[in-house]
Amino acid sequence: MNNVGVLGLGTYVPEKVFTNEDFEKILDTSDEWITEMTGIKERRFADDDMDTSDLAYEAAKEAIDNSGVAKEDIDLVIVATSTGDMQFPTVATMLQDRLGLRNVPSMDQLAACTGFIYGVVTGAQFIQTGTYRHVLVVGADKLSKITDFSDRSTAVLFGDGAGAVVLGEVEEGYGVRSFDLGSNGQGGPYLYGDESDGGNIRMNGREVFKFAVRQMGESSVIATEKAGLSTDDIDRLVPHQANIRIMNAARERMDLPPEKMSSTIDKYGNTSAASIPLSIHHDVKNGRIKSGDNLILVGFGGGLTWGSICLTWGSNKEETHG
């Protein structure tokens, strides 16, 4: 079977920065409390006239340009999102049309904050079996439109953004080595969006915290072991950027030092399906992820869902991935 890896990477975040000090003006909260409890200092919010498909488009364009793959050679579009522009058509279909990818199959994938992991695993299967050669996977969410800004337990957590990758065949020793996916519907009431409530995010923070601390670490270890590696072989842990305490718990379960964990939560907050590609992009730009590095990507989300991927970064070709 083919080795599947990342040929191109792109991201987009809105220009508008909303800081903890801005929240102090509208909620009974403080920068000190938000920072201590979550690790977040600021997040980005899209304007009213920008929706999820717009965020996805900007990230997808950059990923395709970065990949060296002609857009005509994209065979499938997958968009992981919980915040579609409308009930249907899907964001993926809207993106396919806007990119000019005529008659290419497309689909949205809803696994909440685990969506990017699910999307990459799904896309990789099509390439590994030889069905398609190049798959565009986008994680994009405009969480500001489903955030209740009167609820201080959730309002401070979320931001808007998008990240995209072009998947394709890579040389031996690179690409996806293993993955672990799972879900537990019994935990659905702990983190959900209810249409009867305007679709706003509702969360039982205590229960979600307990679940995430356990599941992120366990899934990371499972993916590492499936790949035939030990934690000593892992160069970078890229967790879903939900809460710095949850992220550190996963890192400690992996027995990794702080400098081996990707952290962009202070800059972007929780961007759901976009958070992992945003973090990868940040680390690549800053030289913290290099060709040949072994990465663990791990996330959890509403549903409840979870997933992890062990990936060796690069393709052993002339690489940009920036």
Please tell me the distance from the alpha carbon of residue 288 to that of residue 263, in angstroms, as a whole number: 11
**184 is an active site residue:** no
**310 is an active site residue:** no
Token pair in block for residue 206: 């205590």
Q: Out of 3, 20, 134, 240, which one is annotated catalytic?
A: 240
Beta carbons of 141 and 84 less than 8 angstroms apart: no
77's enclosing H/E stretch is: strand 76-80
Please tell me the distance from the alpha carbon of residue 212 to that of residue 188, in angstroms, as a whole number: 13
Please tell me the distance from the alpha carbon of residue 214 to that of residue 216, in angstroms, as a whole number: 6
CB 41: neighbour CB atoms within 10 A? 17
- Environment class of residue 228 by beta-carbon count within 10 Å: exposed (0-12), middle (13-18) or buried (19+)? exposed
Residue in the structure block whose two tokens are 């940040």? 282
Parallel, antiparallel or unpaired: strands 106-109 and 76-80 = parallel
Q: Out of 20, 66, 270, 282, which one is annotated catalytic?
A: 270
Q: What amino acid occupies position 97? A: D
Q: What amino acid occupies position 7? A: L
Tell me which residue of 90, 99, 92 sits closest to 65, measured CA to CA: 99
Q: Please, which residues have CB within 8 angstroms of residue 305's CB and are 6 or more apart in sequence?
A: 111, 112, 113, 114, 118, 181, 182, 183
Q: Out of 113, 200, 281, 310, which one is annotated catalytic?
A: 113
Please identify every residue annotated as catalytic: 113, 240, 270
